[in-house]
Structure 1
Amino acid sequence: MTTPPAGLRERKKQATREALREAALRLAVERGPDQVRVEDIAEAAGVSPRTYNNYFASREQAIVSAVTADREARIAAAVAAGPAGVCLADAVTEAVVEQYTNAGEREQRALLLITARTALRDAFLDATADIEPPLTAAIAERLGGAEGRTARVLAASVAAAVRITLEDWLQPAGNAEAVGAVGLVVPAGSLSDQLRATLSPLAPAFDAAERRARGGALERARGCTGGRQPQCAGQG
């Protein structure tokens, strides 16, 4: 999937977005998320509150964006760049697992902050919907452009699967009253294993789409991975 170079206007917008989300995370770490106002974030980034509102709908969205920034684009790029001999289902699964489990130290610290606040946690989960548009384009390209609506359905299904996995993975600690008071969550088990398990039921739909789009078989021996038992598209 080839992306044309961004123009000056787009580069300025991207720089502003990055400044806002970095300021939001820094202030949230320094002061605590509840002590950060939109006006504070805008001032720290050198823009007006009105400009801020052109990029983010809330402070939670800006703080979360510092962690999730460009993740959806990286997932789509990995799928689009994957070897043609690898099953599309496997390419999508590996891209999702890679981007959601290989966080650096900075992202891990920020995630602890986010998951300790209900509003931030909700915004983090909502951000999974951002996977759909770029992943739709990547899947459609892998299918040769012949399955536009199918690509959208598959991408939306992946986004839903990721959200469901994260909801289950971030388990509230203690009873409902304690959660409301302190907002603690306890990650439950291996995130990579849970992502693979939740995405696995989508594999037959991906395989069927490839079979229709390519009109032929994709041999598992040519590169399909992940240990799925169902055969790749075209093998029946």
Structure 2
Amino acid sequence: MGLRERKKAETRSALSWAAIRLTVERGFDNVRVQDIADAAGVSPRTFNNYFSGKGEAIASRHLNRLQRAADGLLARPEGEPLWESITHVALSQFEPGPELVAHPVADRGAWAAGLRTMLAEPALQGELLRAGVRAEAEFAAAVARRTGTDLEKDLYPHLVAAAVTAANNVAQAHFLRSGGTVSMEALLTEALGRIAAGLPAP
């Protein structure tokens, strides 16, 4: 990635994180594009160059995280078991980026409550659904390449991608129900491990 592309990616990421942070703190209806742009250190016009609205900006971080997981899957060692690779790349999404380092989460309970309210926002759910469908398709393509299966003819890569999406969604929902008292890393590790084991009865 060249310098220009990297700077654009950094600006996009900063805007998305600012949109999430402010929405968690204030509520979706109480955040303006101007607020997001100010928090990211850019103009509202720059925001509009990247996103059509607050919902797309928030969903962008979710999409980028899952796209990185697809890229990461292809970069794992060839001989590594598939579900071991998947778990590694899934957990790598929780490594703190520069925005989170600059604005650490001080109160996990308050953060989880704000996230729960944000994710229940009807104006945002459509954007998140679109982002999730796109990311799942890209992950299925990565699984197909990794396993030598055919994306058009074989069920397997789509089934794996759907299972990983479900594991993410269930782990996130449980994290929010717990009020942030259990880490997402632990929940996702458990969810993926149970799927890899064939979901035996507890």
What is the CA–CA distance in structure 2 between the aligned matches of 1:191 and 1:138, rounded to whole Å? Answer: 23
* Alpha carbons 1:64, 1:120 under 8 Å: kept: no
Alpha-carbon spacing, 1:163–1:56, altered in 2? closer, same or farther (3 Å): farther
1:120 corresponds to which of 113, 118, 121 = 118
* Alpha carbons 1:64, 1:114 under 8 Å: kept: no
Alpha-carbon spacing, 1:103–1:13, altered in 2? closer, same or farther (3 Å): closer
Matched, 1:92 2:96: no
Tell me which residue corresponds to 2:32. 37
- TM-score (structure 1 length as normaliser): 0.57
Tell me which residue corresponds to 1:212. none
What is the CA–CA distance in structure 2 between the aligned matches of 1:111 and 1:137, rounded to whole Å? Answer: 38
2:173 corresponds to which of 139, 144, 167 = 167
* Bigger Rg, structure 1 or 2: 1
* Alpha carbons 1:80, 1:138 under 8 Å: kept: yes
For residues 36-55 of structure 1, the aligned pairs below 5 Å read 36-41=31-36, 45-48=42-45, 51=48, 55=51
SS at match of 1:165: helix
Runs of 5+ in structure 1 lacking a partner?
172-184, 206-228, 230-236
The percentage of counterpart residues that share the same residue type is 27
- How many residues in Structure 1 have an aligned counterpart in Structure 2? 182
How far apart are 1:58 and its partner, in Å?
Answer: 3.1
SS at match of 2:93: helix
- TM-score (structure 2 length as normaliser): 0.64
Structure with more relative contact order (C-alpha pairs < 8 Å, separation 6 or more): 2
What is the CA–CA distance in structure 2 between the aligned matches of 1:140 and 1:83, rounded to whole Å? Answer: 15
1:17 corresponds to which of 12, 27, 40 = 12
Runs of 5+ in structure 2 lacking a partner?
none
After superposing on structure 2, the runs of 4+ consecutive aligned residues of structure 1 that deviate more than 6 Å are: 10-13
SS at match of 2:140: helix
Alpha-carbon spacing, 1:139–1:37, altered in 2? closer, same or farther (3 Å): same
* Alpha carbons 2:112, 2:180 under 8 Å: kept: no
When structure 1 is superposed on structure 2, of 81-90 and 111-120 the one drifting more is 111-120
* Alpha carbons 2:33, 2:54 under 8 Å: kept: yes
What is the CA–CA distance in structure 1 between the aligned matches of 2:107 and 2:43, rounded to whole Å? Answer: 25
What is the CA–CA distance in structure 2 between the aligned matches of 1:41 and 1:191, rounded to whole Å? Answer: 26
RMSD: 4.1
For residues 172-183 of structure 1, the aligned pairs below 5 Å read none
Tell me which residue corresponds to 1:217. none
Matched, 1:195 2:188: yes
Tell me which residue corresponds to 1:109. 105
Tell me which residue corresponds to 1:215. none
How far apart are 1:167 and its partner, in Å?
Answer: 0.4
